[in-house]
Amino acid sequence: MPLPSNSLRLRPGVTEPVILLISREAVDTCDVERVFKQSVRFLMASRENVILYRQQASLVFEGWDDDPRELVDIPEVRAFVKAMVVRWPQWAFFFNQLDPCIPLWISCLVGESFPGGGAVEINVNLLRQVIHQALSGMNAIYDLHALSEHDLEIQSMGFIEVIEQMV
């Protein structure tokens, strides 16, 4: 059945997937600069890359398979994510909106308490700040590369939809 003409597809599919592999060593040492240089910088290297890799990135934290905790329960992962956001404020532009990378990232950033088992008590004030920062980073890329405002609106709405499904 075709979608009504006024419907927006807020979550485009992943067509050119990029897996951002983050090693346990990088997390343990909070080496965001190495991860940025080895895994992230190429996403923003040119206008063509920005367009090609928009909403195509997923995260894989390597080396935690034997750890029974969920990633969000690991203090080092949360600290790494917080440091990575400072280095890479444009992350929301690149993360795909289909897998759990955005919820993981957001949970690490706005959690007030982590009782275990992947549960997170969210600080609503922090959530507002993180949403604002993420959308600002997204807007900056659109402005820098003179990308479509219509596409920005769709991507922003999809991002907000992902967060609404979390809370």
Contact indicator for 35, 22 with CB cutoff of 8 Å:
yes
Q: Tens of pLDDT along 75-117?
A: 999 999 999 999 999 999 999 999 999 999 999 999 999 999 9
What's the pLDDT score for residue 3?
A: 38
Report phi then psi at 79, rounded to 5.
Answer: -65, -40
Segments in the chain forming alpha helices (H): 24-29, 32-35, 47-53, 75-87, 91-94, 101-110, 124-144, 149-166
Q: What's the alpha-carbon Rg for the chain, to the nearest Å? A: 16
Strands 57-62, 119-122: pairing is unpaired
Closest of 73, 60, 70, 68 to residue 24, by C-alpha: 60
Q: Are the C-beta atoms of 38 and 87 separated by less than 8 Å?
A: no
Instruction: Give the pLDDT of residue 15.
Output: 76
pLDDT tens column, 36-82: 999 899 999 999 999 999 999 999 999 999 999 999 999 999 999 99
In DSSP notation, 134-155 reads HHHHHHHHHHHTT--HHHHHHH
Q: Are 115 and 129 in contact (CB under 8 A)?
A: no
Q: What is the pTM of this model?
A: 0.89
